[in-house]
């Protein structure tokens, strides 16, 4: 069902910033050009094409490796304050390791983008890791399952700060550790699609990603921030978890869901360690399963101290909401993270659907998740680093996307003014249609449409471009807004 709610007529606060986001593997193409090395997405899509809808891949995608000038022109046309994009690690370091040599054309590519953004008055927000691990790191050491990747990532991060940091005020270490680890190392839904050690590998991955994040944070904080004066953090994603009823057990289950998804990463970064509910539940189940220690790794006291406080803001990717009900603990058997969490997850059939099976349009979830992050993590600065709506393509008059953006932003205004949440920015996913991971090109999130059958990859504005532009001009969601 499609609903239209009353839209908030208050103006966004002075200084509030609007942007759009993309990610390297999803837009760049040029997968083996000018010395770029292979990454886990190149590898997986080439070796196991059947995993991907229509056997497609990111070999060419939007061809942004060649069309970045056009992309910056689109950003300029939109009038965004900032552009969030990610670096392809293996374009800069073909083997992943510093010792493997720096690929100068890869560095030049990002230099050129940064120069153009600067000329056009658009601030960059750079993500170091949006899922495209150099393949040699996976093959040689097992990627995020190996402690040595922490130092290797830290060296890559230092190089990025060194090369680009004079022009960058917003850094993101990792995009969505939950997706990296749960999908990459448990469900098989993302590269490297390892799923043979459920309930174990994903937590090792999470541990390594958190340590890598903290290492990069400290390098930036000590060696670069004093001069470059930017902010650095991590981007964590979650649905809002709405209790299926006001029964205390459902409320508890919903809170547990947020802790297992968002808290898994946010709690260490803010409070120093994993959420107690994860420590307890995974520990107890591990004992019953016959493990000699918890499947959830432990931080040393020193590590707790080093991870605590490694954020200058919190990056939140938020798209949708789930209904959560309490359920009996699932009986002991093969371990898995969903058994560890053990809740009953569903949706409300009245919620508007999208082209993505997981994405339902639930605007009020935006206010609730923002307020929850404020209350749970000491009122941090929050930046919405992704939010967006998918359709199946062929729709330039994308009124459902316009409606989604309007209503989610309206809910965000309530968070800002009525709940006093310190949200300072909003990022629409995505600038343009792109390679949507295992869904290939079947799900379109772009404000601009891209014709993937034309070698020129022409970009065409959808109606949402005009709508987003108007928000950027008026800083509000309706024609007449209050100051």
- For ligand GBH, the binding residue among 237, 257, 259, 354 (CB under 6 A) is 237
14 to 53, contacts with ligand GBH by CB under 6 A? Answer: 23, 26
Say whether 176 is catalytic: yes
Least distance to ligand GBH from the beta carbon of 439, Å?
8
Residue 386 interacts with ligand GBH (CB under 6 A)?
yes
441 to 480, contacts with ligand GBH by CB under 6 A? Answer: 445
Do the beta carbons of residue 346 and residue 266 sit within 8 Å? no
Residue 403 interacts with ligand GBH (CB under 6 A)?
no
Say whether 305 is catalytic: no
User: Which one, 361 or 476, has the nearer CB to ligand GBH?
Assistant: 361
Least distance to ligand GBH from the beta carbon of 206, Å?
15
From 447, 444, 443, select the one nearest 467 (Cα to Cα). 447
First CA to last CA distance, the chain: 33
Residue 433 interacts with ligand GBH (CB under 6 A)?
no
Residues in the chain: 483
d(CA 365, CA 375): 15
User: Which one, 89 or 224, has the nearer CB to ligand GBH?
Assistant: 89
Do the beta carbons of residue 231 and residue 215 sit within 8 Å? no
337 DSSP 8-state letter: H
Q: Which of 38, 123, 303, 386 is catalytic?
A: 386
Residue 346 CB-density burial (10 A; 0-12 exposed, 13-18 middle, 19+ buried)? exposed
Pairing mode of beta strands 382-386, 314-317: parallel
User: Which one, 320 or 411, has the nearer CB to ligand GBH?
Assistant: 320
User: Which one, 68 or 445, has the nearer CB to ligand GBH?
Assistant: 445
Candidates 172-180, 264-272, 280-288, 306-314: pick the segment binding ligand GBH (CB under 6 A): 172-180
From 230, 207, 61, select the one nearest 157 (Cα to Cα). 230
180-199 burial: b if 16+ Cβ within 10 Å, else e: bbbbbbbbbebbbbbeeebb
Q: What character string, x for contact with ligand GBH (CB under 6 A) and - otherwise, covers 347-366?
A: -----------x--------
- For ligand GBH, the binding residue among 81, 123, 255, 436 (CB under 6 A) is 436
Measured CA angle at 406 (ends 82, 238), to 5 deg:
70
Q: What character string, x for contact with ligand GBH (CB under 6 A) and - otherwise, covers 301-340?
A: ----------------x-x---------------------
5 DSSP 8-state letter: P
Pairing mode of beta strands 82-86, 123-129: parallel
d(CA 227, CA 224): 6
Q: Which of 176, 242, 255, 436 is catalytic?
A: 176
| Residues noted as catalytic | 176, 386
- Contact residues toward ligand GBH (CB under 6 A) are 23, 26, 175-176, 179, 183, 189, 237, 317, 319, 358, 386, 429, 436, 445
């Amino acid at each position: 069902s499609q609903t239209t709610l009353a839209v908030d007529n208050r103006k966004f606060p002075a200084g509030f910033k609007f942007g759009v986001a993309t990610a390297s593997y999803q837009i760049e193409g040029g997968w083996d050009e000018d010395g770029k090395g292979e990454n886990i997405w190149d590898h997986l899509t080439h070796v196991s094409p059947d995993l991907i809808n229509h056997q497609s891949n990111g070999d060419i995608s939007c061809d942004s490796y060649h069309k970045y000038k056009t992309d910056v022109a689109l950003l300029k046309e939109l009038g965004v304050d900032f552009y969030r994009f990610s670096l392809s690690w293996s374009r800069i370091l073909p083997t992943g390791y510093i010792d493997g040599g720096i690929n100068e054309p890869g560095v030049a590519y990002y230099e050129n983008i940064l120069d153009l953004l600067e000329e056009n008055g658009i601030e960059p927000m750079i993500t170091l890791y949006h899922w495209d691990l150099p393949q040699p790191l996976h093959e040689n050491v097992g990627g995020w399952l190996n402690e040595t990747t922490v130092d290797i990532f830290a060296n890559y991060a230092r190089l990025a700060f060194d090369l680009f940091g004079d022009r960058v005020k917003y850094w993101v270490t990792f995009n969505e550790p939950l997706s990296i680890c749960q999908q990459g190392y448990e469900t098989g839904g993302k590269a490297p699609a390892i799923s043979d050690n459920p309930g174990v590998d994903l937590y090792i991955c999470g541990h390594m990603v958190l340590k890598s994040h903290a290492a990069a944070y400290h390098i930036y904080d000590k060696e670069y921030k004093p001069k470059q004066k930017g902010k650095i953090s991590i981007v964590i994603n979650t649905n809002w978890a709405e209790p299926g009823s006001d029964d205390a057990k459902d409320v508890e289950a919903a809170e547990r869901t947020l802790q297992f998804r968002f808290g898994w990463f946010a709690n260490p970064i803010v409070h120093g360690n994993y959420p107690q509910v994860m420590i307890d539940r995974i520990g107890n189940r591990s004992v019953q399963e016959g493990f000699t220690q918890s499947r959830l790794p432990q931080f040393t006291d020193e590590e707790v101290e080093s991870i605590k406080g490694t954020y200058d803001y919190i990056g939140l990717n938020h798209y949708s909401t789930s209904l959560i009900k309490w359920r009996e603990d699932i009986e002991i058997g093969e371990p898995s993270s969903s058994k560890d969490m053990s809740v009953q997850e569903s949706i409300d059939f009245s919620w508007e659907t999208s082209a993505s099976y997981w994405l339902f349009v639930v605007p009020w979830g935006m206010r609730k998740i923002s307020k929850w992050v404020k209350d749970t993590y000491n009122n941090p600065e929050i930046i919405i680093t992704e939010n967006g709506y998918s359709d199946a393509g062929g729709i330039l008059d994308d009124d459902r996307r316009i409606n989604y953006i309007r209503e989610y932003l309206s809910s965000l205004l309530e968070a800002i003014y009525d709940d006093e949440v310190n949200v300072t920015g909003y990022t629409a996913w995505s600038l343009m249609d792109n390679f949507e991971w295992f869904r290939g090109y079947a799900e379109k999130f772009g404000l601009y449409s891209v014709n993937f059958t034309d070698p020129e990859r022409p970009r065409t504005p959808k109606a949402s471009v005009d709508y987003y532009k108007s928000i950027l001009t008026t800083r509000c969601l309706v024609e007449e807004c209050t100051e």
